[in-house]
Each structure stands twice: as structure tokens, then as C-alpha cells.
């Protein structure tokens, strides 16, 4: 881009935006600049309608009959295939179930079960912490198994992969910096060494085009309450490549993963398909909200989404660096948009207080310890004018030292 766009140019960008009408399908409070859809996506009338139908009619009137009549029992598989479409997975390989943390546990064990003569898990030192905590949990059940960490044991994941590695657990986009990995290239590198890969798609599902089948991925997990807009605590998903389904075993062998759950047999027999990656009864009300949110995605071109995402994040970086120069911010995300997800991080020594001041002025991003200001750009309901307004408020807070007020130093439980 040449020169700094002014407000007229920004408004022209919104007017020319092919995804602009999508904003009307979400509930975005007037006057709020919501740059945190990468933590909790916006609500939608479609999700509300599904919730109401599920609560008042299916639960309220039809009661237990709804397991069959309203398709509750099959819903994890039906919604799994719909998410599968958004992440490049052919039907029958994706199921909606449980949380991302629980699905990481299942995926790691299943991956280890495919490589019984190998003992090492590779992960990222800078990973989202739950991935590492769950990995510790998996290791605690497998005597002799050990962990190698990128950034601790070697600078890059590629340097850690050898013939002893069973599985590589890796985030497609880093939750803090927004750095995007090359899925096809890393998957190939892992598989060339005889290992399998588990991709964590929490920050890419619904944020950019993904081709799990095309990349020959082995396993993937992700959550549905971020870019997919499924609602707070909405259930996560897990993908297992078709070629592994017969063999891959996960240890949370609850009755919903059984081949014949309603035969009430005494012994366990895993379902032959992706159903084996469920555990027990699923949270149907949350799933119904997710169903409403996924209806919106039927009308989204993922490549148009990515183009807008790149334009939003490029604009944000350009405006912040021009308007807030010398005010203590350092770009923490890759400058090259091809290596960046749909979020931008800036470092500031007082990031927590700065973010609290922003939130008080109705610009919502989030703080990640120790010193990161993180801004998510969800192309379905964020416009270029939001970027402009967000940067104006940020500049004002930094220039006026408004963030130094002591009320912004008090930490809440959830940051």
C-alpha cells in the first residue's frame, strides 16, 4: 500500500467489501469495536433461533423423543461433517465432541497407539498451554515416553524430528504471535520421519482456508467458540484421517464410542468409524447453538474470507505503526501476511493496563501474559472502519497516558 489511507479511503474499502452483508447476520453491539472473536466469536440470530427451538420445543415438549426425532444422537457426526467441509475433510472423519483439551488427550493417545515402538512426543514450547498440560497428562500414563519442546530442546520443530518420535503436536497458528505454519510441508516432514502429526486448529478453523485431506494430515482438533462463533463453551471437534480410523484407539472409551451403544453389552467394542472418538452424552443445547452458527458458514467463500482477513490485519499494522510510532509498541506478529493468521499482536511493557483502558473505551481485544496486546480480526463481522476506530482509540490512550490510571492495574480472573 502506498501512503496512509484516510477515513474516506477506509469507508470506500467497506463499501467494496464482498463480505460486508455478513455483519447483519451477527449480533454486534452498536459502538463496540470487537477485536476478540479469536477468543469468543459473536452471537447470531441463527444461533439464538436454534437454541430456542431446542429448548422450548425439542426439550420442553418432545423430551426424550428428541434423541431420534430431532436428530440429537446423530448431531455430533452431522455437525462434524459440516465443520469438516470448512477444514478440508471429506465426510466421516470429523466429529463434534467434548473440549479441545479432551480431544488433544484422545488424539495424542491414538497417535501414540499407531507408533507403539516409539516414545517421543514433540510439541512447541510456545504452544497454547493446555496443549502442553494435556501432553504432560498423556506422558504420565505412558512410562518411558518423553517430551521434546521447540524453543527449549532445539530452535525449530523440524530439528526435533527423528526416528524415535511418535507424534508431533503443533498449532496451525500460534495463539499469541499469530504465526501460521505451513501445514502441508510440516506434515510431510513429520511423516517422512515415520511419525504422525496432530494439528491444533483453534486459531485457524473459520479464520482461513484449510485442507486437512490435501495436506495428508493424520489428526486435528479445534474449538468452535472462536472463529466459528458457536457460543461460550461450544463443543470442540476432532478429525482423524480415514486411513487411521480402523486402527487408532483413544482411551476415553465411553458408551457413545461403542459400536452398539444401545445393546448395553458388558464389554467394550469401538465403533468402526469416527464415532469411536466420542466419549459420553454430548451437550446438545450448545451443539444446537453451533448448528445455527454453522448455517451462516454455508454462504461463505473461504478464499474471500482470507483476502479480507489479510486486508484487515495489514491495515491494522500499517495504521498502528504510523499513528502510534514512538509510543512503546512493537509488532510481535509476522509482517508477511502469508505467515500470519487472522490476528495481530503488539508488545507493550504495560500491555495489561493498556488493554483494560481500551476495553473501557469499547475497543475489545485481549491481553496475553506477560506483555502482549492481541487483536483478532473476524472477517464476517469486522469492517475496515472498526480497524480505523480501534487504532484511533489506541493512539489516544497511549498519547494521553490514560492507561496509567490505577484502576487499569487490577487483574480479573479471566484476561
Q: Are 137 and 105 in contact (CB under 8 A)?
A: yes
Task: Decide if 374 is catalytic.
Answer: yes
Q: Is 199 annotated as a binding residue?
A: no
Composition of the chain by helix, strand, coil, percent to 5: 40, 15, 45
Q: Which is nearer to ligand PLP, 128 or 403 (CB)?
A: 128
Q: Is 101 annotated as a binding residue?
A: yes
Task: Decide if 298 is catalytic.
Answer: no
Q: Which is nearer to ligand PLP, 58 or 131 (CB)?
A: 131
Task: Decide if 239 is catalytic.
Answer: no
Residue 278 gets the label, from left (phi > 0), alpha (psi -120 to 50) or beta, of beta
Q: Are 295 and 46 in contact (CB under 8 A)?
A: yes
Shortest Cβ 38–ligand PLP spacing (Å): 8
Task: Decide if 128 is catalytic.
Answer: yes
Task: Decide if 118 is catalytic.
Answer: no
Helix locations, 3-127, DSSP H? 7-15, 45-52, 66-69, 75-86, 100-114
- The C-alpha cell that represents 249 in the structure block: 484407539
**Count helices and strands in the chain by DSSP H and E runs:** 11, 13
Per CB under 6 A, residues contacting ligand PLP are 99-101, 128, 130-131, 171, 175, 200, 202-203, 223, 236
Q: Which is nearer to ligand PLP, 58 or 366 (CB)?
A: 366
Question: Cα separation of 361 and 356, whole Å?
Answer: 9
Per annotation, catalytic residue among 374, 377, 381, 384 = 374
Per annotation, catalytic residue among 17, 36, 98, 200 = 200
CB crowding 85-123: b at 16 or more within 10 Å, else e? ebbbbeebbbbbbbbbbbbbbbbbbbbbbbbeebbbbbb
Shortest Cβ 292–ligand PLP spacing (Å): 19
Q: Is 131 annotated as a binding residue?
A: yes
Q: Are 158 and 188 in contact (CB under 8 A)?
A: no
Shortest Cβ 388–ligand PLP spacing (Å): 27
Q: Which is nearer to ligand PLP, 17 or 200 (CB)?
A: 200
Q: Which residues are annotated as a binding site?
A: 100-101, 128-131, 200, 203, 225, 255, 281
Residues serving a catalytic function are 128, 200, 225-226, 374
Per the annotation, where are the binding residues for pyridoxal 5'-phosphate?
100-101, 128-131, 200, 203, 225, 255, 281
Amino acid at each position: 500500500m502506498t501512503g496512509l489511507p484516510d477515513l474516506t479511503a477506509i469507508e470506500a474499502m467497506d463499501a467494496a467489501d464482498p463480505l460486508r452483508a455478513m455483519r447483519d447476520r451477527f449480533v454486534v453491539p452498536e459502538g463496540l469495536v470487537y477485536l476478540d472473536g479469536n477468543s469468543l466469536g459473536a452471537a447470531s440470530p441463527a444461533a439464538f433461533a436454534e437454541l430456542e427451538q431446542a429448548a422450548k420445543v425439542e426439550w420442553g415438549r418432545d423430551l426424550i423423543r428428541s434423541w431420534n426425532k430431532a436428530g440429537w444422537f446423530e448431531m455430533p457426526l452431522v455437525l462434524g461433517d459440516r465443520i469438516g467441509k470448512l477444514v478440508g475433510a471429506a465426510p466421516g472423519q470429523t466429529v463434534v465432541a467434548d473440549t479441545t483439551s479432551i480431544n488433544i488427550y484422545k488424539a495424542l493417545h491414538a497417535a501414540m497407539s499407531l507408533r507403539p515402538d516409539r516414545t517421543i512426543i514433540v510439541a512447541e514450547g510456545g504452544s497454547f498451554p493446555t496443549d502442553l498440560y494435556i501432553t504432560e497428562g498423556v506422558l504420565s500414563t505412558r512410562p518411558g515416553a518423553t517430551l521434546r519442546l521447540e524453543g527449549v530442546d532445539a530452535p525449530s520443530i523440524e530439528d526435533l524430528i527423528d526416528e524415535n518420535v511418535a507424534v508431533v503436536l503443533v498449532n496451525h497458528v500460534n495463539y499469541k504471535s499469530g504465526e501460521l505454519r505451513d501445514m502441508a510441508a510440516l506434515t510431510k516432514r513429520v511423516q517422512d520421519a515415520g511419525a504422525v502429526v496432530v494439528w491444533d486448529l483453534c486459531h485457524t478453523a473459520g479464520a482461513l482456508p484449510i485442507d486437512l485431506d490435501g495436506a495428508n494430515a493424520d489428526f486435528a482438533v479445534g474449538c468452535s467458540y472462536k472463529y466459528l462463533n458457536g457460543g461460550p463453551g461450544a463443543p470442540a471437534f476432532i478429525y482423524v484421517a480415514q486411513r487411521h480410523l480402523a486402527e487408532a484407539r483413544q482411551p476415553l472409551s465411553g458408551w457413545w464410542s461403542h459400536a452398539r451403544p444401545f445393546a448395553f453389552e458388558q464389554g467394550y467394542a469401538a465403533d468402526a468409524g469416527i464415532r469411536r472418538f466420542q466419549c459420553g452424552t454430548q451437550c446438545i443445547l450448545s451443539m444446537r447453538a453451533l448448528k445455527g452458527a454453522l448455517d451462516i458458514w454455508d454462504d461463505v467463500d473461504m478464499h474471500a474470507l482470507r483476502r479480507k482477513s489479510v486486508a484487515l490485519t495489514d491495515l491494522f499494522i500499517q495504521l498502528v505503526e504510523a499513528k502510534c510510532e514512538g509510543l512503546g509498541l512493537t509488532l510481535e506478529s509476522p509482517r508477511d501476511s502469508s505467515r500470519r493468521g487472522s490476528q495481530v499482536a503488539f508488545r507493550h511493557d504495560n500491555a495489561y493496563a493498556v488493554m483494560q483502558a481500551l476495553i473501557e473505551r469499547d475497543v475489545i481485544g485481549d491481553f496475553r501474559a506477560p506483555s502482549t496486546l492481541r487483536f483478532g480480526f473476524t472477517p464476517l463481522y469486522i469492517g475496515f472502519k472498526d480497524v480505523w476506530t480501534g487504532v484511533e482509540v489506541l493512539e489516544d490512550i497511549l498519547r494521553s497516558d490514560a492507561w496509567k490510571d490505577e484502576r487499569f492495574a487490577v487483574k480479573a480472573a479471566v484476561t
